[in-house]
A and B are shown apart, each in its own frame.
Chain A
Amino acid sequence: MPFDALRELAEAGLDLEVISDEQRAIVAGLSQEEVAMLISIQKQLLESDPEVEAHIIGGLLF
């Protein structure tokens, strides 16, 4: 079956209802790698692995 970015994203739970027809054409042109990246980020955010970095200003996490 040929790669279908829209189908892959919809199956992963991304809300594609909100995008315009113009955007839909852009999304349809996403590469397999870009689609995998989006899905991977969605999963990571749901899993919420702790992520430690020196992201600090004035001692705050902002």
Chain B
Amino acid sequence: MHLADILALRPVPAAGLLMALTRRCPLTCAHCSTNSLLTSEEHPAEWFARFARTIEREDRPEVIMLTGGEPMLRPRLVADIAATAPTMVLTGGFFAPRVPAALAGVAHVSVSLDVHHQREVPQAKVFRLVHALAGRGTAVSFHVTGAGPDDPYLARTIDTVRREFADRVPMLVGRVRAAGRAQAWAPAEERAPADGHRPCTMAAWPAVSPDGTVTACCNQDVIDHRPVPGHLRLGHVATDDWRSVRTRCLTSPVLQAIRTGGPQWAAGRSDGGYCGTCRTLGTTAERPRPAAAFLEQQVVRAQVGAGPEGFIRRYGEARFAELVMLGRETHAV
């Protein structure tokens, strides 16, 4: 499953499921958005495994993305979940260059590559890991993070990866955000559109937090803070099943409105910022119109039409958007 195929699904409601299996991580990167340590919170693996077992073939997500913390601290859980639906793992690669057996059933492995990770996991080891995975037929990619489009680290690293892997391994290039440990030093940014009409793609896939709460949004503030605003809470992995979570995600009028015109459009006001306005929305949208489904459908179609590169132009480093397509034409889906 190529990175571009996964990103192409990102605007489609409930086409994917994000699961943060633990907040723990053996690395101590200065930019860690989840503020992870080896002693961070971790909840029973059985909660997450139980939830995954409720996924049935007819309405399963097209991809489950496992993250953390470091998801590979729970290899058995990763393997169990990968048995239920096509699964992507985002890892810092602390185990590199060794390939853990738990990755055998995983459809896609994406490895973090940035100046902070490289201090703890040398680039050469990461490259050996990715070569080994690709050699076994696993789809691979890099998640490259820098300080901004002009960061010389990005240009250097992208060039190195392109040469090392002969343009066969895609890259998703992003920027360090002011969250977690990076909050102390990374610039906070929020650029909302002038007219307030901007669909929120981030409300398309349910996200499981490390504490098992399922939210409609993967914004780190929503993942980290409790209580979750009522309209963004879809359930809990210890007690709910995928079908209920999926149904809530798809049918909530307020989520439909957020995905269609953005939270400011849903609220009919734009004074609180984009995500700030979202957090203040109630459980009922102010716009529960019969046309809601049509409007959402059109907006999703427009986003899908913009493709994986369109998604990166909106949410990642626009200058490097085309790198998500590397290796796409030669990769068997």
Contact = CB atoms under 8 A, between A and B. Distances in A.
Contacts of B18: 57, 62
A38 B205 CA distance: 22
Given A37-B261, A38-B295, A62 B218 contact: yes
Interface in B235-285: 260-261, 265, 274-275
Interface string A36-54: 0110111011101111111
The 8 A-B residue pairs whose C-beta atoms are closest, nearest first, are A58-B67, A48-B313, A57-B218, A55-B202, A52-B189, A59-B33, A51-B314, A26-B291
B33 A29 contact: no
B315 A60 contact: no
Nearest to B261: A37
A10 interface: no
B179 A49 contact: no
A50 B321 CA distance: 11
B160 interface: no
Given A42-B302, A61-B172, A54 B221 contact: yes
28 contacts: A14-B298, A19-B294, A30-B291, A34-B291, A37-B197, A37-B261, A37-B265, A41-B198, A41-B299, A41-B302, A45-B302, A45-B306, A46-B306, A48-B310, A51-B315, A54-B177, A54-B178, A54-B179, A54-B190, A55-B219, A57-B207, A59-B31, A59-B67, A59-B90, A60-B90, A61-B174, A61-B312, A61-B316
Interface string B58-96: 000000010111000000000000000000001000000
A48 B49 CA distance: 38
Contacts of A19: 294
Which interface residue of A14, A19, A23, A53 has the most chain B CB atoms within 10 A? Answer: A53
B191 A50 contact: yes
Interface of B: 10, 16, 18, 20, 31-34, 65, 67-69, 90, 110, 112, 143, 145, 172, 174-175, 177-179, 188-191, 193, 195, 197-199, 202, 205, 207, 218-221, 223, 260-261, 265, 274-275, 289-291, 294-295, 298-299, 301-303, 305-306, 310, 312-316, 318
A42 B198 CA distance: 10
Contacts of A27: 291, 294
A34 B298 CA distance: 12
Contacts of A52: 175, 189-191
Contacts, number: 135
Contacts of B189: 52-53
The DSSP consensus for interface residues of chain A is: loop
A1 interface: no
B40 to A, nearest CB: 12
B145 A59 contact: yes
Contacts of B260: 37
Nearest to B149: A50
A58 to B, nearest CB: 3
Contacts of A15: 301
Interface residues of A, number: 32
B197 A40 contact: yes
Contacts of B218: 55-57, 62
Contact of A59 (B10, B112, B274, B298): B112
Nearest to B116: A59
Contacts of A56: 33, 177, 179, 218-220
B68 A58 contact: yes
Given A29-B291, A37-B197, A56-B33, 17 more contacts: A27-B294, A41-B198, A41-B299, A45-B302, A48-B318, A51-B198, A53-B189, A57-B20, A57-B34, A57-B218, A57-B220, A57-B223, A59-B112, A61-B143, A61-B172, A61-B312, A61-B316
